[in-house]
Amino acid sequence: MIGSIISAVIIGAIIGGLARLILPGRQNISWSLTVIVGIVAALIGTLIAYWLGFANTRGIDWWEHILQLVLAIIGVGAVASRRPSSQ
């Protein structure tokens, strides 16, 4: 159980950071909020992958991680668009 939580935080941080790198422009959100969005995207992505039947494959679950990244990009973009810019 604790290992799953730790891996969700690590994968969420990676997925959230990649989402920020992929999105064009500057996102006006903190890194902690980015990690939270990444964690949520990772958990939802895993749930969707499980429902679609490709959550547990041999080796690296590339399709699952791609789905998580797409969800994180959407999430970071949505959160950043709702935050006022500080200019």
pTM of the predicted model as reported, rounded to 2 decimal places: 0.83
Report the chain's C-alpha Rg in angstroms.
13
DSSP H helices in 1-87: 2-22, 31-52, 62-82
Question: Do 80 and 29 touch, CB atoms closer than 8 A?
Answer: yes
Residue 26 scores a pLDDT above 60: yes
Pairwise pLDDT comparison (56 vs 17), residue with the higher score:
17
Straight-line distance from the first to the last Cα atom of the chain, in angstroms, rounded to the nearest whole number: 43
pLDDT in tens, 33-87: 999 999 999 889 888 988 988 767 777 778 888 999 999 999 999 998 887 765 5
34 burial type by CB count under 10 A (0-12 exposed, 13-18 middle, 19+ buried): buried
